[in-house]
Structures are given as C-alpha cells and as structure tokens.
Amino acid sequence: MTKIIKYSTCYIFVIILCALSASACSSSNASVVTRADINEAYQSWTKAIDTANGDPSKIVALYADNAVLMPMLSDKMLTSKSQITDYFKKFTSYKNITVSTKKFNVQAYGDIAVANGTYTFYYLGKHDKSESVEARFTFVYQKAGGDKWLIVSQHSSVLPDENKIK
C-alpha cells in the first residue's frame, strides 16, 4: 500500500510539474516577439532619421541607455547616449537625408531580436547634388516593457564595392 501511495504521489507530482510547465510555456508564448513587432520598431527608427533635420532626440530615444553603436561614418564605437546623440546630430544634418530599406530579416529570441538587412541613405551633397550611400546593418532589440522595443546594439557599414573584392 505504501508503494502505491509513493508512486501515486510521484505521479501526481509529475502531472503538476507538467501542468505548470505548460502554463509557463503558454504564457511566455503570448509575449513572443513577432516580425511585425520588430518591423514596427525599425520603422520608427527610419521615420526618425527621415524627419530629424539635425535634431537627433527622436532617434536617440529609440536606444537603450547602455546601447552600443558601431556607426557607418565613424571608426569609433559609441557607448553612451551623448556619443550617440552627437553622431546622429551630425549624420542627420545632411540636407534632406532619408533612408530606404532594401532587405530586412528578423530573428527572434524571446525578449531579444536581431534585424539584419541593407538600406540606402539619400541626401543632397555639395551644390545640392543628389548623393546616396548603400549600407548593411544589424540592429539588436530588447523588449523594454509593455510593447516597447529598444535598440541595444547597432552596426552599420558601407557596402563593399564588389569590383574591388574580385
């Protein structure tokens, strides 16, 4: 009889553990990141670039306090909000700067997501001549509470000239 009670207790314990695990999995799945979540966060960044006109505040608000930026037009790693602010102040001062995304891919890992792709920046250079720079990017996003996703790391680099690689 004690064996039956012992096995019954173990069996009930296993069932409870399974039920709790299933409950935990289903509640965590409810907050799983989707491509749409990250696309929306990324589109907020592109819109902020397009409308900044030298005021980087809307851009910088999309970065976590401890974010790291490896920028396209600098050889420095930027590790503070003030450095990121200074970079985007200069970057968005280019006349009529806009960004157009060419390729976009998302990988999701719970409350972390990685977006990779390519984009082109358009602006007016010297003598109001249209200029463009094609670049590749990696953004790492982390969920910051509610529906808000912040950039914790970003790397952008000019696309290599394929003619020089061959």
pLDDT digits (tens, 9 = 90+) for 113-159: 999 999 999 999 999 999 999 999 999 999 998 889 999 999 999 99
Q: What pLDDT does residue 31 have?
A: 59
Dihedral angle sign, alpha carbons of residues 156, 158, 162, 166 = negative
pLDDT bracket for residue 11 (50, 70, 90): very low
DSSP-derived letter for residue 4 is H
- Amino acid occupying residue 39: N
Classify residue 141 by burial, with Cβ atoms within 10 Å: 0-12, 13-18, 19+. Answer: buried
C-alpha 88: how far from its chain's center? 17
Q: Report the CATH architecture of 32-165.
A: Roll (3.10)
pLDDT digits (tens, 9 = 90+) for 22-74: 334 434 444 577 899 999 999 999 999 999 999 999 999 999 999 999 999 99
Distance CA(8)–CA(65), nearest Å, equals: 52
Comparing CA positions, the residue from 88, 146, 156 lying closest to residue 120 is 156
SS3 144: strand
pTM: 0.79
Which structure tokens are listed for 25?
Answer: 């999995």
CA dihedral 24, 26, 29, 30 (to 10 degrees): -110
Domain ranges of the chain: 1-30, 32-165
